[in-house]
């Protein structure tokens, strides 16, 4: 009753970032392979899991089946290929992966520069007054998680150039290089496609579009389209807004840019499920933070409009 088929069918779109091959105490929000496997097992039994582009076509046509659900991944992490893909294939599921085209091939997400720096800070007082965080003492996991959150909050909405500069200065506080193998390569992205998955664009360098001027924002959108077209041999038609909160991380101006760049659909992290009347360039998504797969399904089936949106996108 909560999910009829046909013209009134709602579409639930899930958003993942990573599936961890090894547990990581500094990434407590990301599912392990076993947790993701359990989620996919129960979702494939409970929902009709469709590729996002197919589901959106059927949503527009009014032919979406009941309990329709799509699985999406943002950013382009290597574990998407190495850990998530085999699990998706085992369950016969097709997911869509939104790739930040300038961060593959050895790049690093801002969030990971912060996490990997804080992971390497020695257990002692650290002077972060230069970024307005005073003197901080890090030691156990809990204190490091708090510091990661505080730094991300501080830098996330800085103008993009300043954000990059701040991350560089932060990374220079620890000895040695931070990892440059967290993201896929071009060949990995192509392998995902060959594995039956769908690929979409997620800007080139993952800036928050609302923090760029119009020309920069347009360039980020268009470049991700062109780089992925080169990699894949076909032009991507789906786009995901970095961070994705409507009115905060992107505006109507950016929706228009995405349309003008030729994308036929785009996903946000707006609250709720999509319906036939939804704007196909602002399809809402849901972050499945429930670790217990049965609870996740109960939440998706029973309370489709009570979804909380996770902070990290
Ligand atoms: Zn992202």
Per-residue pLDDT of the chain (313 residues; tens, 9 = 90+): 456 777 788 999 999 999 999 999 999 989 999 999 999 999 999 999 999 999 999 999 999 999 999 999 999 999 999 999 999 999 999 999 999 999 999 999 999 999 999 999 999 899 999 999 999 989 999 999 999 999 999 999 999 999 999 999 999 999 989 999 999 999 999 999 999 999 999 999 999 999 999 999 999 999 999 999 999 999 999 999 999 999 999 999 999 999 999 999 999 999 889 998 899 999 999 887 676 778 877 777 765 444 444 444 4
Q: Which residue has the tokens 């105490």?
A: 25
φ, ψ of residue 213 to 5 degrees: the values are -80, 170
Q: How far is the CA of 134 from the centre of ligand 1 (A)?
A: 29
Q: How far is the CA of 7 from the centre of ligand 1 (A)?
A: 31
Q: Give yes or no for a contact between 263 and 201, defined as CB atoms under 8 angstroms apart.
A: yes
Q: What is the mean pLDDT of the chain?
A: 92
Q: How far is the CA of 250 from the centre of ligand 1 (A)?
A: 13
Which pTM does this prediction carry?
A: 0.94
Q: How far is the CA of 168 from the centre of ligand 1 (A)?
A: 19
Residues whose CB falls within 8 Å of the CB of residue 77, separated by 6 or more in sequence, listed in order:
17, 18, 182, 183, 184
Q: Give yes or no for a contact between 144 and 124, defined as CB atoms under 8 angstroms apart.
A: no
Q: Name 98's bridge partners.
A: 74, 200
Q: Are strands 68-75 and 11-16 parallel, antiparallel or unpaired?
A: parallel
Q: How far is the CA of 201 from the centre of ligand 1 (A)?
A: 10
Q: Give the Cα separation of 203 and 221 in Å (integer).
A: 5
E strands present in the chain: 11-16, 48-49, 68-75, 96-99, 125-127, 135-137, 198-201, 238-240, 265-267
Q: How far is the CA of 205 from the centre of ligand 1 (A)?
A: 10
Select from 64, 101, 71 the least CA-distant residue to 89.
71
Q: Give the Cα separation of 11 and 17 in Å (integer).
A: 20
Q: Give yes or no for a contact between 268 and 246, defined as CB atoms under 8 angstroms apart.
A: yes
Q: How far is the CA of 117 from the centre of ligand 1 (A)?
A: 20
Q: What is the pLDDT, as a whole number, of residue 286?
A: 86
Q: How far is the CA of 243 from the centre of ligand 1 (A)?
A: 6
């Amino acid at each position: 009753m909560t999910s009829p088929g046909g013209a009134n069918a709602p579409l639930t779109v899930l958003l993942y970032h990573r599936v961890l091959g090894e547990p990581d105490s500094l990434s407590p929000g990301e599912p392990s392979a076993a947790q993701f496997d359990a989620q996919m097992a129960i979702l494939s039994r409970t929902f009709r899991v469709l590729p996002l582009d197919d589901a959106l076509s059927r949503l527009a046509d009014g032919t979406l089946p009941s309990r329709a659900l799509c699985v999406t991944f943002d950013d382009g992490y290597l574990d998407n290929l190495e850990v998530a893909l085999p699990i998706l294939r085992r369950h016969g599921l097709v997911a869509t992966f939104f790739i930040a085209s300038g961060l593959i091939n050895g790049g690093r997400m801002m969030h990971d520069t912060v996490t990997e720096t804080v992971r390497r800070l020695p257990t002692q007082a650290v002077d972060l007054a230069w970024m307005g965080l005073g003197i901080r003492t890090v030691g156990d996991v809990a204190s490091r998680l708090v510091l990661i959150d505080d730094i991300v909050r501080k830098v996330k909405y800085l103008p993009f150039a300043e954000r990059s500069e701040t991350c560089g200065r932060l990374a220079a506080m620890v000895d040695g290089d931070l990892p440059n193998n967290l993201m896929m390569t071009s060949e990995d992205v192509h392998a995902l496609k060959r594995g039956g998955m769908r690929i979409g664009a997620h800007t080139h360098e993952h800036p928050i579009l609302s923090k760029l001027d119009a020309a920069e924002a347009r360039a980020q959108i268009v470049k991700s389209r062109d780089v992925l077209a080169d990699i894949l041999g076909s032009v991507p038609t789906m786009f995901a807004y970095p961070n994705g909160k409507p009115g905060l991380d992107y505006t109507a101006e950016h929706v228009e840019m995405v349309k003008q760049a030729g994308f036929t659909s785009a996903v946000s992290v707006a609250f709720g499920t999509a319906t036939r009347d939804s704007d196909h360039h602002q399809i809402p998504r849901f972050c499945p933070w429930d670790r217990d797969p049965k609870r996740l399904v109960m939440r998706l089936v029973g309370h489709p409009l009570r979804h909380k949106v996770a902070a990290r996108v």
